[in-house]
Structure 1
Amino acid sequence: MNLFEELDSFLERAYAPYSGFRVASIVVTTEGKIYRGVNVESVAYPTTMCAERNAVFHAVAEGVKPGEIAEVHILARNEAGAYVTAFPCGSCRQVIAEQSRGKATIHIYRGEREVEMHSIASLLPFHFASLD
């Protein structure tokens, strides 16, 4: 599934006044439902939220259960407005791994026709497992 256009339009909603680095993410469930997120920066940097976790948390808040997240799509633009490859950070990888039960495919866009796909297991092979 190529969600480039939707991600691109959603990038404008990112709040990145400090870094200028805008990120949009879309989570797709096993049932095909879509949940969106953008990065939201804060002057108190540790309180900044990544787009990927924002999208996953939105899905969870709407009732998506662990194991129901199938895909995570990511598009980023730097301060100059150029598309850049942006892999999920370690915290996002852990949340994606846990909420997908290690089965999500990550789609990382650098343009409409430039997309890399990786399994979350390859990006975080030894994630902490949930207790259930």
Structure 2
Amino acid sequence: MNYFNELNTLLDMSSAPYSGFNVAAIVVTEDNKVYKGVNVESAAYPTTNCAERNALQTAVTEGAKIGDVKEVHVLGRNSEKLLVKAYPCGSCRQVIAEQSANDAMVYCYASESDVENFTIAELLPHAFLGAEL
């Protein structure tokens, strides 16, 4: 399913007062439940939260278990208010890999028709999933 319109609307909920780079994410679980997230910046940059992890954490809060995440959809808007593809950062890729049991599809949008998709394994090869702990 294409989530462009929902993502585009969600961008206005993002809080990016420092970078001006808004990101919206939607996580879809195996039972087709949808969880939304936006990036929330902080003046203390390390405390900033990415949209993807925000949506993933909401899914977990609502009961999603490891392996339930099947899709992550992402859209960005730069400081010039132009829509751009936003690819998950390394930290988000790690959490997506873990929460999906390394089996999610990631969709990166620039418009309704300009969408790239990847498996999380393509975005994070040789993922550290914790079995070694």
- TM-score, length-scaled by structure 2: 0.97
The answer for the alignment partner of 2:113 in structure 1 is 113
Q: 1:85 deviation in Å? A: 1.4
Q: RMSD of aligned C-alpha atoms?
A: 1.0
Show structure 2 runs of 5+ residues with no match: none
C-alpha distance in structure 1 between counterparts of 2:96 and 2:114, whole Å: 22
C-alpha distance in structure 2 between counterparts of 1:130 and 1:30, whole Å: 22
C-alpha distance in structure 2 between counterparts of 1:60 and 1:96, whole Å: 12
The answer for the alignment partner of 1:86 in structure 2 is 86
The answer for the alignment partner of 2:77 in structure 1 is 77
Letter of the aligned partner of 1:87 in structure 2? Y
C-alpha distance in structure 1 between counterparts of 2:31 and 2:90, whole Å: 26
The ranges of structure 1 where at least 4 consecutive aligned residues each deviate by more than 6 angstroms after the TM superposition are none
C-alpha distance in structure 1 between counterparts of 2:108 and 2:87, whole Å: 7
C-alpha distance in structure 2 between counterparts of 1:117 and 1:83, whole Å: 17
Show structure 1 runs of 5+ residues with no match: none
C-alpha distance in structure 1 between counterparts of 2:128 and 2:68, whole Å: 18
Matches within 5 A, 1:47-58: 47-58=47-58
**Deviations for 1:56-81, whole angstroms, at most 9, x for unmatched residues?**
00000101000000000000000111
Q: 1:130 deviation in Å? A: 2.8
The answer for the alignment partner of 2:40 in structure 1 is 40
Q: Give the stretch that moved more between structures: 102-111 or 122-131.
A: 122-131
C-alpha distance in structure 1 between counterparts of 2:25 and 2:130, whole Å: 23
Q: In the alignment, is residue 60 of structure 1 matched against residue 60 of structure 2?
A: yes
SS of 1:97's equivalent in the other structure is: helix
How many residues align structurally? 132
